[in-house]
Amino acid sequence: MKRPYIICHMMTSVDGRIDCDMTAQLQGVKEYYSTLESLDTQTTLSGRVTAQLELANSGKFEPKTQTYLNKESFTQNTISDSYDVIVDTKGTLLWDDDSTYNKPHIIITSEQVNLDYLDYLNSKHISWVATGKKEINLTRAVEILSEQFKVSRMAIVGGGHIDGSFLDAGLTDEISILIGSGVDGRNGMPAVFDGRPETRKPIPLKLENVKSFEDGAVWLRYSVK
């Protein structure tokens, strides 16, 4: 299978929590972005929840019809050396026009996406990939990113469920964790990897590198065995 080299890169508190408002208050925020840049992953991928909070416009797309794609397909509306890939299974997020972006979007949905939403993305010059009958087929999605969009390296930058989904699918090559010098400790806050079934066993890692910073942040890089 031809696919990008995939690195999960996250900033966490010492207790492994990743709430963005919380991590933004920790020492280590500037190192998060510098370490991400050093990974040489021009393309990044986010889940729907993270994208809704940080990237997309407010509101939710409301289709006018009940007509669905029901097949694997993709459309490349922009060509770039780097992309902001968003996993949005049902196609609900709202966006600005991509035609002038230096880092345009690619929206990944399932094949159950509404055709109205795909028309909406096309009108915004936003590329998209639809694969998977009910849920997104992540394996096929990254194959298409590699083969059709020429993505060779990609960083997953949140959140916890999308991190866990890629790890469970065997698609994560490396885990890069920037630990900020602080503790969250609040109940119910998301962790780096969430949503794995209770029956799944821990996934072994190999520590490849450790780097500490003057502000107390620590950068850990693991390969996935």
Task: Give the burial class of 110: count Cβ atoms within 10 A of its Cβ; 0-12 exposed, 13-18 middle, 19 or more buried.
Answer: buried
| pLDDT per position as a tens digit, 137-166 | 999 999 999 999 999 999 999 889 999 999
Residue 177: phi and psi, rounded to 5, are: -120, 120
| Separation CA 221–CA 225 (nearest Å) | 13
pLDDT at 48 over 90: yes
Helix (H) or strand (E) holding 73: strand 73-75
Two tokens, residue 74 = 């993709």
Mean pLDDT for the chain overall: 96
pLDDT at 105: 98
DSSP string, 126-179: -EEEE--SSS--HHHHHHHHHHHH---EEEE---HHHHHHHHHTT---EEEEEE
**Encoding tokens for residue 71?**
């097949």
Q: Is the pLDDT confidence value at 100 over 90?
A: no
**Residue written as token pair 């993270």:** 50
Taken in order of first residue, the domains within the chain and their CATH numbers are 5-224 (3.40.430.10)
Other Cβ atoms less than 10 A from the Cβ of 102: the count is 7
21-32 pLDDT, tens digit per residue, is: 999 999 999 999
